[in-house]
Protein backbone atom coordinates (compact mmCIF):
# COMPACT_ATOMS: atom_id res chain seq x y z
CA UNK A 1 0.00 0.00 0.00
CA UNK A 2 1.33 3.39 -1.03
CA UNK A 3 0.14 6.68 0.42
CA UNK A 4 -0.61 9.86 -1.56
CA UNK A 5 1.95 12.67 -1.41
CA UNK A 6 2.00 16.45 -1.62
CA UNK A 7 4.78 19.03 -1.33
CA UNK A 8 5.88 20.26 2.11
CA UNK A 9 5.47 23.95 1.32
CA UNK A 10 4.97 26.26 -1.64
CA UNK A 11 7.67 26.86 -4.20
CA UNK A 12 7.82 29.16 -7.25
CA UNK A 13 9.54 29.43 -10.60
CA UNK A 14 9.47 32.35 -12.98
CA UNK A 15 10.40 33.03 -16.57
CA UNK A 16 9.12 33.34 -20.09
CA UNK A 17 6.71 30.91 -21.85
CA UNK A 18 8.02 29.24 -25.02
CA UNK A 19 5.08 29.85 -27.33
CA UNK A 20 3.38 32.94 -25.90
CA UNK A 21 6.53 34.77 -24.81
CA UNK A 22 4.67 35.87 -21.66
CA UNK A 23 6.74 36.39 -18.55
CA UNK A 24 5.11 34.67 -15.63
CA UNK A 25 5.33 33.19 -12.16
CA UNK A 26 4.20 29.69 -11.33
CA UNK A 27 3.77 28.55 -7.73
CA UNK A 28 3.32 24.95 -6.63
CA UNK A 29 1.18 24.77 -3.46
CA UNK A 30 0.44 21.80 -1.20
CA UNK A 31 -3.05 20.33 -1.67
CA UNK A 32 -5.32 17.97 0.27
CA UNK A 33 -5.78 14.26 -0.46
CA UNK A 34 -7.63 13.30 -3.68
CA UNK A 35 -7.15 16.84 -5.03
CA UNK A 36 -4.95 15.73 -7.92
CA UNK A 37 -3.07 18.27 -10.03
CA UNK A 38 -4.89 21.49 -10.82
CA UNK A 39 -3.80 24.80 -12.29
CA UNK A 40 -5.34 28.08 -11.05
CA UNK A 41 -5.21 31.17 -13.28
CA UNK A 42 -4.72 33.85 -10.62
CA UNK A 43 -4.56 36.61 -13.25
CA UNK A 44 -8.20 36.00 -14.23
CA UNK A 45 -11.23 37.22 -12.26
CA UNK A 46 -12.57 34.47 -10.01
CA UNK A 47 -9.26 32.60 -10.26
CA UNK A 48 -10.67 29.69 -12.32
CA UNK A 49 -9.27 26.18 -11.94
CA UNK A 50 -8.09 23.96 -14.78
CA UNK A 51 -7.91 20.30 -13.89
CA UNK A 52 -4.86 18.55 -15.39
CA UNK A 53 -6.90 15.81 -17.03
CA UNK A 54 -7.04 14.60 -20.61
CA UNK A 55 -10.68 15.63 -21.12
CA UNK A 56 -9.50 19.25 -20.82
CA UNK A 57 -6.94 18.99 -23.64
CA UNK A 58 -7.88 21.43 -26.40
CA UNK A 59 -4.71 21.67 -28.49
CA UNK A 60 -1.61 19.56 -29.09
CA UNK A 61 -0.03 21.37 -32.05
CA UNK A 62 3.29 22.18 -30.37
CA UNK A 63 2.79 21.45 -26.70
CA UNK A 64 -0.20 20.21 -24.70
CA UNK A 65 -2.78 22.90 -23.93
CA UNK A 66 -5.61 22.39 -21.44
CA UNK A 67 -8.74 24.52 -20.97
CA UNK A 68 -11.52 24.59 -18.40
CA UNK A 69 -13.86 27.28 -17.07
CA UNK A 70 -13.07 29.37 -20.16
CA UNK A 71 -9.34 29.70 -19.51
CA UNK A 72 -6.30 27.93 -20.88
CA UNK A 73 -2.87 26.87 -19.79
CA UNK A 74 -0.41 26.17 -22.60
CA UNK A 75 2.53 23.75 -22.62
CA UNK A 76 1.75 21.87 -19.40
CA UNK A 77 3.75 18.72 -20.20
CA UNK A 78 7.11 19.53 -18.56
CA UNK A 79 5.39 20.71 -15.37
CA UNK A 80 3.35 17.51 -15.19
CA UNK A 81 6.41 15.36 -15.89
CA UNK A 82 8.33 17.05 -13.07
CA UNK A 83 5.48 16.29 -10.65
CA UNK A 84 5.30 12.66 -11.73
CA UNK A 85 9.09 12.44 -11.48
CA UNK A 86 8.86 13.88 -7.95
CA UNK A 87 6.19 11.35 -6.91
CA UNK A 88 3.61 14.06 -6.12
CA UNK A 89 -0.13 13.30 -6.32
CA UNK A 90 -1.74 16.46 -5.02
CA UNK A 91 -0.75 20.01 -5.87
CA UNK A 92 -2.37 23.32 -6.73
CA UNK A 93 -0.40 25.27 -9.32
CA UNK A 94 -0.99 29.01 -9.33
CA UNK A 95 -0.02 30.71 -12.57
CA UNK A 96 -0.36 34.40 -13.43
CA UNK A 97 -0.40 34.03 -17.23
CA UNK A 98 -1.31 31.53 -19.95
CA UNK A 99 1.90 29.51 -20.11
CA UNK A 100 4.44 28.12 -17.63
CA UNK A 101 8.06 29.31 -17.96
CA UNK A 102 10.02 27.16 -20.41
CA UNK A 103 13.26 27.65 -18.41
CA UNK A 104 15.99 25.62 -20.15
CA UNK A 105 13.49 23.54 -22.16
CA UNK A 106 13.65 20.58 -19.76
CA UNK A 107 12.17 19.57 -16.39
CA UNK A 108 15.46 19.86 -14.51
CA UNK A 109 14.90 23.16 -12.69
CA UNK A 110 11.36 22.28 -11.59
CA UNK A 111 12.53 18.95 -10.22
CA UNK A 112 15.38 20.56 -8.28
CA UNK A 113 12.94 23.05 -6.75
CA UNK A 114 10.48 20.30 -5.86
CA UNK A 115 13.22 18.13 -4.35
CA UNK A 116 14.53 21.04 -2.28
CA UNK A 117 11.11 21.77 -0.83
CA UNK A 118 10.44 18.06 -0.19
CA UNK A 119 7.22 16.06 -0.05
CA UNK A 120 5.06 14.51 2.66
CA UNK A 121 3.00 11.38 2.88
CA UNK A 122 -0.73 12.01 3.29
CA UNK A 123 -3.40 10.11 5.10
CA UNK A 124 -4.96 8.37 2.10
CA UNK A 125 -4.07 5.48 -0.11
CA UNK A 126 -2.78 6.15 -3.61
CA UNK A 127 -5.01 4.61 -6.27
CA UNK A 128 -3.51 3.18 -9.44
CA UNK A 129 -4.95 2.31 -12.81
CA UNK A 130 -4.08 -1.30 -13.47
CA UNK A 131 -3.81 -2.49 -17.08
CA UNK A 132 -5.41 -5.93 -17.54
CA UNK A 133 -4.83 -6.45 -21.26
CA UNK A 134 -2.69 -4.87 -23.95
CA UNK A 135 -4.01 -1.57 -25.33
CA UNK A 136 -2.72 -0.35 -28.70
CA UNK A 137 -3.01 3.12 -30.21
CA UNK A 138 -1.93 3.41 -33.84
CA UNK A 139 -2.02 6.42 -36.14
CA UNK A 140 -1.69 5.21 -39.74
CA UNK A 141 -0.85 8.61 -41.25
CA UNK A 142 1.96 9.42 -38.83
CA UNK A 143 2.90 5.78 -38.38
CA UNK A 144 3.17 6.18 -34.62
CA UNK A 145 2.22 3.38 -32.26
CA UNK A 146 1.81 3.47 -28.50
CA UNK A 147 1.00 0.41 -26.45
CA UNK A 148 0.61 -0.45 -22.80
CA UNK A 149 0.61 -3.98 -21.42
CA UNK A 150 0.10 -5.41 -17.97
CA UNK A 151 3.12 -5.00 -15.66
CA UNK A 152 3.88 -4.63 -11.95
CA UNK A 153 5.27 -1.12 -12.42
CA UNK A 154 5.20 1.83 -14.82
CA UNK A 155 8.03 1.55 -17.36
CA UNK A 156 8.52 3.29 -20.69
CA UNK A 157 10.41 2.50 -23.89
CA UNK A 158 10.52 5.18 -26.59
CA UNK A 159 11.82 5.06 -30.14
CA UNK A 160 11.99 8.07 -32.44
CA UNK A 161 12.66 8.19 -36.16
CA UNK A 162 12.69 11.54 -37.94
CA UNK A 163 14.16 10.21 -41.19
CA UNK A 164 16.87 12.76 -40.56
CA UNK A 165 20.57 12.72 -41.35
CA UNK A 166 21.56 14.58 -38.20
CA UNK A 167 19.09 13.04 -35.77
CA UNK A 168 19.42 9.28 -36.06
CA UNK A 169 16.93 6.64 -34.98
CA UNK A 170 17.11 6.74 -31.20
CA UNK A 171 15.72 4.89 -28.24
CA UNK A 172 15.26 5.82 -24.60
CA UNK A 173 14.17 3.68 -21.67
CA UNK A 174 12.91 4.26 -18.16
CA UNK A 175 12.80 1.25 -15.88
CA UNK A 176 12.40 3.09 -12.58
CA UNK A 177 11.26 6.59 -11.66
CA UNK A 178 14.18 6.66 -9.21
CA UNK A 179 16.29 7.43 -12.30
CA UNK A 180 13.96 10.06 -13.76
CA UNK A 181 15.60 13.15 -12.28
CA UNK A 182 19.06 12.21 -13.43
CA UNK A 183 18.39 10.40 -16.70
CA UNK A 184 15.33 12.10 -18.21
CA UNK A 185 14.50 15.42 -16.52
CA UNK A 186 17.57 17.36 -17.85
CA UNK A 187 16.78 16.49 -21.49
CA UNK A 188 15.82 19.56 -23.47
CA UNK A 189 13.24 20.22 -26.10
CA UNK A 190 14.40 20.37 -29.71
CA UNK A 191 13.30 21.67 -33.05
CA UNK A 192 14.38 21.36 -36.67
CA UNK A 193 15.71 24.48 -38.35
CA UNK A 194 13.19 24.09 -41.18
CA UNK A 195 10.35 24.44 -38.64
CA UNK A 196 11.67 27.62 -37.07
CA UNK A 197 10.45 30.15 -39.60
CA UNK A 198 7.04 28.48 -39.86
CA UNK A 199 6.69 28.58 -36.07
CA UNK A 200 7.71 32.22 -35.93
CA UNK A 201 5.27 33.09 -38.73
CA UNK A 202 2.46 31.35 -36.86
CA UNK A 203 3.32 33.43 -33.84
CA UNK A 204 4.53 30.40 -31.91
CA UNK A 205 7.84 30.15 -30.03
CA UNK A 206 7.74 33.86 -29.13
CA UNK A 207 9.70 33.04 -26.00
CA UNK A 208 12.11 30.78 -27.83
CA UNK A 209 15.67 31.83 -28.01
CA UNK A 210 18.56 29.60 -28.81
CA UNK A 211 19.19 28.69 -25.18
CA UNK A 212 15.99 26.78 -24.39
CA UNK A 213 15.87 24.45 -27.40
CA UNK A 214 18.30 22.36 -29.38
CA UNK A 215 18.03 23.29 -33.05
CA UNK A 216 18.94 20.55 -35.53
CA UNK A 217 20.02 21.55 -39.01
CA UNK A 218 19.27 18.90 -41.58
CA UNK A 219 21.01 20.24 -44.64
CA UNK A 220 23.24 23.06 -45.83
CA UNK A 221 21.70 26.43 -45.00
CA UNK A 222 22.95 29.50 -46.91
CA UNK A 223 24.68 32.21 -44.88
CA UNK A 224 21.92 34.69 -45.75
CA UNK A 225 19.22 32.46 -44.25
CA UNK A 226 21.26 31.95 -41.07
CA UNK A 227 21.57 35.73 -40.74
CA UNK A 228 17.81 36.07 -41.23
CA UNK A 229 17.15 33.60 -38.41
CA UNK A 230 19.67 35.37 -36.20
CA UNK A 231 17.72 38.58 -36.77
CA UNK A 232 14.41 36.90 -35.91
CA UNK A 233 15.92 35.72 -32.64
CA UNK A 234 17.51 39.09 -31.94
CA UNK A 235 21.00 37.70 -31.73
CA UNK A 236 24.18 38.85 -33.44
CA UNK A 237 24.96 35.73 -35.37
CA UNK A 238 24.32 32.02 -35.48
CA UNK A 239 26.65 29.29 -36.59
CA UNK A 240 26.39 25.61 -37.26
CA UNK A 241 28.30 23.38 -34.88
CA UNK A 242 29.07 19.71 -34.75
CA UNK A 243 26.38 17.16 -35.42
CA UNK A 244 24.11 19.57 -37.29
CA UNK A 245 23.22 21.59 -34.21
CA UNK A 246 22.60 25.25 -34.90
CA UNK A 247 23.38 26.92 -31.61
CA UNK A 248 26.56 26.51 -29.69
CA UNK A 249 25.43 23.73 -27.42
CA UNK A 250 26.36 20.10 -27.02
CA UNK A 251 23.99 17.30 -26.15
CA UNK A 252 23.81 16.10 -22.52
CA UNK A 253 23.20 12.57 -23.77
CA UNK A 254 23.79 11.14 -27.23
CA UNK A 255 20.06 10.22 -27.29
CA UNK A 256 18.83 13.41 -25.60
CA UNK A 257 16.00 13.93 -28.16
CA UNK A 258 14.54 10.44 -27.51
CA UNK A 259 14.84 11.05 -23.76
CA UNK A 260 12.99 14.35 -24.15
CA UNK A 261 10.18 12.57 -26.02
CA UNK A 262 10.00 10.17 -23.06
CA UNK A 263 9.77 13.18 -20.72
CA UNK A 264 6.90 14.61 -22.80
CA UNK A 265 5.11 11.24 -22.77
CA UNK A 266 5.40 11.03 -18.96
CA UNK A 267 3.91 14.55 -18.75
CA UNK A 268 1.05 13.74 -21.11
CA UNK A 269 0.31 10.43 -19.35
CA UNK A 270 -0.04 12.33 -16.06
CA UNK A 271 -3.28 13.61 -17.64
CA UNK A 272 -4.74 10.16 -16.81
CA UNK A 273 -5.41 11.74 -13.41
CA UNK A 274 -3.98 8.77 -11.49
CA UNK A 275 -0.74 6.80 -11.71
CA UNK A 276 -0.82 3.71 -13.89
CA UNK A 277 0.86 0.31 -13.68
CA UNK A 278 1.91 -0.99 -17.07
CA UNK A 279 4.70 -1.31 -19.59
CA UNK A 280 4.54 1.41 -22.25
CA UNK A 281 6.18 1.06 -25.64
CA UNK A 282 6.05 4.15 -27.84
CA UNK A 283 7.16 4.48 -31.44
CA UNK A 284 7.27 8.10 -32.67
CA UNK A 285 5.27 9.59 -29.78
CA UNK A 286 4.00 13.18 -29.96
CA UNK A 287 1.50 15.27 -28.01
CA UNK A 288 -1.48 14.40 -30.23
CA UNK A 289 -0.74 10.66 -30.18
CA UNK A 290 0.10 10.73 -26.46
CA UNK A 291 -3.17 12.37 -25.46
CA UNK A 292 -5.24 10.13 -27.79
CA UNK A 293 -3.45 7.16 -26.21
CA UNK A 294 -4.42 8.40 -22.74
CA UNK A 295 -8.06 8.74 -23.84
CA UNK A 296 -7.99 5.22 -25.27
CA UNK A 297 -6.54 3.81 -22.01
CA UNK A 298 -9.29 5.47 -19.97
CA UNK A 299 -11.96 4.13 -22.35
CA UNK A 300 -10.52 0.62 -22.05
CA UNK A 301 -10.25 0.73 -18.28
CA UNK A 302 -13.87 1.80 -17.78
ZN1 LIG B 1 8.76 18.79 -24.37
**Are 9 and 90 found together in one domain?**
yes
Question: For residue 132, how far is its CA from the centre of ligand 1 (angstroms)?
Answer: 29
Domain's final residue, options 217, 244, 271: 244
Range of the structural domain that residue 62 is part of: 3-127
pLDDT on residue 110: 97
pLDDT on residue 167: 84
* Residue 48 belongs to some domain of the structure: yes
Question: For residue 103, how far is its CA from the centre of ligand 1 (angstroms)?
Answer: 12
CATH code at position 118? 3.30.230.20
pLDDT on residue 123: 97
* Residue 22 belongs to some domain of the structure: yes
**Are 24 and 120 found together in one domain?**
yes
| pLDDT averages per 10-residue partition of the chain, 302 residues | 96 90 94 98 97 98 94 96 98 96 94 98 97 96 95 97 86 97 95 76 66 76 76 66 66 93 98 97 97 98 88
Question: For residue 100, how far is its CA from the centre of ligand 1 (angstroms)?
Answer: 12
Residue 177 per-residue DSSP state: G
* Burial status of residue 1 (CB atoms within 10 A of its CB: 0-12, 13-18, 19 or more): exposed
Which stretches of 31-118 are assigned E, i.e. beta strand?
37-41, 49-51, 57-59, 65-68, 71-73, 91-95
> Edge to edge, what strands does the sheet with 37-41 contain?
11-16, 23-30, 91-95, 37-41, 49-51
Domain's final residue, options 107, 127, 147: 127
Question: For residue 83, how far is its CA from the centre of ligand 1 (angstroms)?
Answer: 14
pLDDT on residue 15: 93
Task: Please confirm, yes or no, whether 287 is among the known catalytic residues.
Answer: yes
pLDDT on residue 229: 73
* Residue 263 belongs to some domain of the structure: no
The answer to whether 220 and 183 have CB atoms below 8 angstroms apart is: no
pLDDT on residue 205: 67
* Residue 295 belongs to some domain of the structure: no
pLDDT on residue 106: 95
**Are 117 and 205 found together in one domain?**
no
**Are 104 and 202 found together in one domain?**
no
* Residue 276 belongs to some domain of the structure: no
* Residue 97 belongs to some domain of the structure: yes
Annotated catalytic residue within 19, 78, 260, 287: 287
pLDDT on residue 237: 62
* Residue 290 belongs to some domain of the structure: no
Question: For residue 192, how far is its CA from the centre of ligand 1 (angstroms)?
Answer: 14
pLDDT on residue 239: 67
pLDDT on residue 10: 98
Question: For residue 230, how far is its CA from the centre of ligand 1 (angstroms)?
Answer: 23
CB atoms within 10 A of CB 178: 11
Which stretches of the chain are assigned E, i.e. beta strand?
3-7, 11-16, 23-30, 37-41, 49-51, 57-59, 65-68, 71-73, 91-95, 119-125, 129-130, 135-139, 144-149, 155-160, 170-174, 190-192, 214-216, 276-277, 279-283
Question: For residue 226, how far is its CA from the centre of ligand 1 (angstroms)?
Answer: 25
* Residue 7 belongs to some domain of the structure: yes
pLDDT on residue 248: 57
Question: For residue 64, how far is its CA from the centre of ligand 1 (angstroms)?
Answer: 9
**Are 114 and 210 found together in one domain?**
no
Q: How many domains does the chain have?
A: 2
Question: For residue 1, how far is its CA from the centre of ligand 1 (angstroms)?
Answer: 32
Amino acid sequence: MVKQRTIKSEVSISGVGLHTGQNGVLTFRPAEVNHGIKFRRIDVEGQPLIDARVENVVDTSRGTTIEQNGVKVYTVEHILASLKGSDIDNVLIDINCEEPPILDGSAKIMMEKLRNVGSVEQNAEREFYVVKKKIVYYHPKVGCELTIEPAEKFTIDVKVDYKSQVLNVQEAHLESFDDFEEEIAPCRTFVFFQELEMLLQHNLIKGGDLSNAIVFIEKYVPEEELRHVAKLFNIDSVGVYDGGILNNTSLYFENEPARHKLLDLVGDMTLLGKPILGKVTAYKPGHFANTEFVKLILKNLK
